[in-house]
Structure 1
Amino acid sequence: MTHRQILKAFTGLLLALLVAILSSTIVSNALPTILADLDGTQSQYTWVVTAMLLTSTATTPIWGKLSDLFSKKLLYQIAIVIFTAGSALGGIAQSMPELIGYRAVQGIGMGGLQALIQAVMAAMISPRERGKYSGYIGATFAVATVSGPLLGGVIVDSPLGWRWCFWVCVPIAVIAFVVLGRTLHLPVIKRPVKIDWLGATLLVGGVALLLIWISLAGKSFAWLSAETLLFVGGAVLSLALAMFVETRVAEPVVPLGLFRNRAFSLTVLGTLAVGTAMFGGAVFLAQYYQIARGYSPTHAGLMTLPMVLGLFVSSTVSGQIVSRIGRTKPFLLFGSVMLLIALGLLSTIDHSTNLVWMGVFLAMMGIGVGSLMQNLVLVAQNTVGMRDIGSATAVVTFFRTLGGSAGVSALGAVLATQVSGHITRDLAARGIPTAGALNGGGGTLDLAALPEPVRQVVRAAYGDATGTLFLIAACVAIVTVLAVVFIKETPLRDTLDIEKPEKPVVPVADTAPPRAEPARTPRALHATVGGDYRG
């Protein structure tokens, strides 16, 4: 494909990705209003986000493997249809369980959109040139991240109402579907198809059990309890069986051979903290600005601009430079250290932190994530050939969303516990009876329904507890720094596929009996040596 053809097809890919990220961030500023309207609780607040992340995480490896076996274009369009259906249904939800279910449908489509865009790009562009296009993906993440909360805030504050936060994405998804149909033309490599349904089922089941346990532990049951034993035991058993199956089938969902490459394994490990910072930051910052600081949804979206601008600039600039120099490790080191410092600084915030300094900390976090996110995927893709490019890309995306899913669930449980403790202590100090609805962090988030003294206590509790979340995220970021340090850099190749070295010709002794030379006539000898025979 020419550069012009690539850009046309890339437009459709980015539109679909924009829809996916937009839908996950557009509800962040609308969630407090949604929960107040549908009588939701803090636990359900987390589940609206977790449900989408859970299904997208669990299905990502399946989408990636299917892209190695079937048409990447057709699969991308199917993902768009599933995602659009979930968005349309989310807008008509009448209760929190309904909304959580429709978000799970959205997540299935989102898993395909996130995994397949990298696989499709890898089928068009060599790793060396892929850097600058990866920068465009990072920029799309940034635009969607900033426009989502802003658009969501404007919609919630307008007469349209929060339901249009789901419906507004549908026209963009339809446009992306049409553009891809007309511009994306990729060859479909035919090969025997054997789908590992058993491995896929075990993998999805194990991941789902693990994420559900993280979401419920500490709230619905104790961390050390019989329920924990059942959830964790079931997850470990399911994942162990999945690994056993993957070593026995011809086309595993997650080719375990990929992990023999040290750079690939370290890349997967390093992407965990990126997901935790990216998803956790977007989810809990909106709650911090609206509940702890009392800002409107629109204003809360504007307060995250420094983070998004940092992500936009760093992803775009690093992508362009990586394509020129063919190296990624300098940006990986810089991004991981910057992310660790930023999360450490954000762990000091409370309900009265200076907002200028808050903006600086968020900009640093955005710069770190922007330098890491796409470059980690690029390193992973550079280690494999076209046969496994979909699976390799999906595995990295899987662990990034797994970090986000587990991070949001675990951090949500920590936040609920911290908020409950702060509220109980502060209300007791003021001589106010603790409201039963607030116990366990599961009370209503409709602050307008609370008396003013209690409202002040709740705001302070949320603000003071948010810093603990970033402290936990900083501890996870240490793993990313260590993983990046030990990645051995390999120059980005200029070819789409790995060029296999030609096998040297090894002379083999001929053990067959010598064949008798046929008798040559003078004419035959003349033809053999090309000379002039004169008898």
Structure 2
Amino acid sequence: MTHRQVMEALSGLLLAMFVAMLSSTVVSNALPRIVSDLHGSQTGYTWVVVATMLAMTATTPIWGKLADLVNKKLLVQLALVIYIVGSLVASIAPSMEVLIGARVVQGLGVGGLTALVQVILATMVSPRERGRYSGYLGAVFALATVSGPLIGGLIVDSALGWRGCFFVGLPFAVAAFFVLQKTLHLPVVKRPVRIDYLGATLIVAGVSILLIWVSLAGNQFAWGSATSAALVIGGLLVLAAAVYVEARVAADPIIPLRLFRDRTVTLATIASVLIGVAMFGSTVYLSQYFQVARGMSPTEAGLMSIAMVGGLFVSSLTSGRIITRTGLWKRWLVGGMAFVVVGLLLLGTIDEKTPLVQVGAFMLVLGLGLGATMQNLVLAVQNNVTMSDMGAASSVVAFFRTMGGSIGISALGALLSHQVAVKVTDGLHGLGIATTSHESHSVPDLATLPGPVQAVFQHAFGESFGHIFLVAAPFAMLALVCVALIKEVPLRTSNLEPNAEASPEVAAELHHGLVEESKR
């Protein structure tokens, strides 16, 4: 495909990616208001986010496997329709339970969009050229991330209220559907579809059981109780059964375990889990920090996100273009993860009194690191697998990143809930106010609270947020080690090099030969 043909097809894909990212970011600044209006708790706040992440996690490998078997354009359009349905239900949700269910449906569609956009891009262009176009994806990711909180904040503060946040993505989704119909023309692969439903069910069941344990332990039951032990043992047994099914039973497994014979795929997968824990687990609560700990409006909280997303935007575009020009990608992964580690450690020092300029500078460092890491980790994996495994390999990275994110959001959300509850209880007792367990775990509307009580909640949330970033930092450090151990293989210059696709070593030899020939 020529550059013009790629850009025409990419226009619809970029719209689809914008929709996928907007679905979570536009709601982030609305969550404190949503949870307050629907009388939810900190656990409910966590699960509005985790529900989407979990649905993405469970279905990403399925979308990736389908992409290797059937019409990719049809799959992207189906994912858009599912997203639209979920958004409409969420917009009229009368309770937290219905809202969480609607977010699950949204997650099914978003999982398809995030997995399929990467797969289709890999089908259209070679790994060497892909860095350039991945930069566009990173830029759209940044645009959705920065505009989402701003748009969401403006909508929440308007007459539309928080329900309007679920309508804002619909025009983009409809536009993406028709743009893809007009511009995306790929060969239709007709092969028998064999989806490993048993493996997919076991994977999502095992992860869900463990996430439920992490979210509820300490609040609904004790960490050392029989209920806690039953959930942990049950979750691990179900995941063990999933591994057995994928290895021995499934004819066409959702996650082909043979992919992990490749060192790059294995290390990138481990790094993806750790990045998911650190990135999603910490950043998803930033808007809550600004609104609850700093007393900002949703619009003001959205403006604060510009610092992190600005860094992500710059590093994503810059790294993509330089990688396409040089063919070297590992330095960007290692440097990006180093920035992520430093950014998390710096954010670990914040509380409710930290100067906002300082907080913004710390977020900028984190954004620079994330922009150089996320897209390029997928690129490293795609460069090491054959075209027939492109969908499965790409979705494996996305799967483990979202699974790590789900774990991180649940675990760090539980930690935040526990720490805030303890600090709120102590603070209110100091004021001579008795509290119930529900009140100490609630997410209040600060504007309705008396001054002294408001100060107690702000201090409790402000101090607890710093601890979350410190807990996330070691996971980022382990991800840095994994990325540093990945062997750099020169990017292939074509998707049609069967020998190079079969072996990274052959790819390196071919690349060396091409360089020598160009010198002559």
Q: Could you say whether these structures have the same fold, taking a TM-score greater than 0.5 normalized by the shorter chain as the test?
A: yes
- The equivalent residue for 1:241 is 241
- The equivalent residue for 1:264 is 265
1:2 aligns with 2:2: yes
Shift of 1:437: 5.3
- The equivalent residue for 1:462 is 461
Shift of 1:497: 4.7
Aligned 8 A contact 1:420 1:438 in 2: no
Shift of 1:443: 2.0
Q: What SS does the corresponding residue of 1:350 show, helix, strand or coil?
A: coil
- The equivalent residue for 1:533 is none
One-letter amino acid of the counterpart of residue 24, structure 1: S
* Structure with more of its chain in helix, by fraction: 2
What is the 5 A alignment of 1:414-433? 414-428=415-429, 430-433=430-433
Aligned 8 A contact 2:127 2:493 in 1: yes
1:297 aligns with 2:298: yes
Distance verdict in 2 for CA 1:257–1:156, change over 3 Å: same
One-letter amino acid of the counterpart of residue 77, structure 2: Q
Q: Distance in 1 between matches of 2:123 and 2:500?
A: 21
Equivalenced residues, count: 501
Aligned 8 A contact 1:58 1:208 in 2: no
User: Mean Cα displacement is larger for which, 478-487 or 444-453?
Assistant: 444-453
Shift of 1:398: 0.7
- The equivalent residue for 2:516 is none
Q: What SS does the corresponding residue of 1:158 show, helix, strand or coil?
A: coil
- The equivalent residue for 1:198 is 198
What is the 5 A alignment of 1:278-317? 278-317=279-318
- The equivalent residue for 2:321 is 320
One-letter amino acid of the counterpart of residue 458, structure 2: R
One-letter amino acid of the counterpart of residue 15, structure 2: L
Shift of 1:400: 1.0
Shift of 1:450: 2.6
Aligned 8 A contact 1:61 1:395 in 2: yes
Q: Distance in 1 between matches of 2:32 and 2:204?
A: 30
Aligned 8 A contact 1:335 1:369 in 2: yes
Shift of 1:420: 1.2
Shift of 1:241: 1.6
- The equivalent residue for 1:518 is none
What is the 5 A alignment of 1:23-422? 23-248=23-248, 249-422=250-423
One-letter amino acid of the counterpart of residue 26, structure 1: V
Shift of 1:230: 2.3
Aligned 8 A contact 2:16 2:113 in 1: yes
Deviation digits for residues 206-264 of structure 1, max 9, x if unmatched?
A: 22222222222222222222222222222222222222122233311100001011111
Shift of 1:198: 1.7
- The equivalent residue for 2:518 is none
- The equivalent residue for 2:511 is none
- The equivalent residue for 1:510 is none
Q: Distance in 2 between matches of 1:196 and 1:46?
A: 30
Q: Distance in 2 between matches of 1:360 and 1:264?
A: 33
- The equivalent residue for 2:13 is 13
Shift of 1:143: 0.7
Aligned 8 A contact 1:28 1:282 in 2: no
One-letter amino acid of the counterpart of residue 445, structure 1: P
One-letter amino acid of the counterpart of residue 37, structure 2: D
Shift of 1:188: 2.1
Q: Distance in 2 between matches of 1:177 and 1:6?
A: 17
Shift of 1:124: 0.3
Shift of 1:31: 1.1
Deviation digits for residues 124-166 of structure 1, max 9, x if unmatched?
A: 0111000011111111111111111100100011112111100
Q: What SS does the corresponding residue of 1:27 show, helix, strand or coil?
A: helix
Aligned 8 A contact 2:312 2:369 in 1: yes
TM-score (norm 1): 0.91
Please tell me whether Structure 1 or Structure 2 has the larger radius of gyration of its CA atoms: 1
Q: Distance in 2 between matches of 1:181 and 1:317?
A: 31
Aligned 8 A contact 1:345 1:361 in 2: yes
Aligned 8 A contact 1:14 1:140 in 2: yes
Shift of 1:282: 3.7
Shift of 1:21: 0.8
One-letter amino acid of the counterpart of residue 311, structure 1: L
Q: Distance in 1 between matches of 2:193 and 2:20?
A: 29
Q: What SS does the corresponding residue of 2:295 show, helix, strand or coil?
A: coil
One-letter amino acid of the counterpart of residue 259, structure 2: L
Deviation digits for residues 34-65 of structure 1, max 9, x if unmatched?
A: 12221122111111111111111111111111
Shift of 1:502: 12
Aligned 8 A contact 1:20 1:113 in 2: yes
Shift of 1:204: 2.0
Aligned 8 A contact 1:290 1:300 in 2: yes
Q: Distance in 1 between matches of 2:85 and 2:458?
A: 36
Q: Percent identity?
A: 55
Shift of 1:367: 0.4
Q: Distance in 1 between matches of 2:228 and 2:179?
A: 47
| Structure 2 alignment gaps of length 5 or more | 503-520
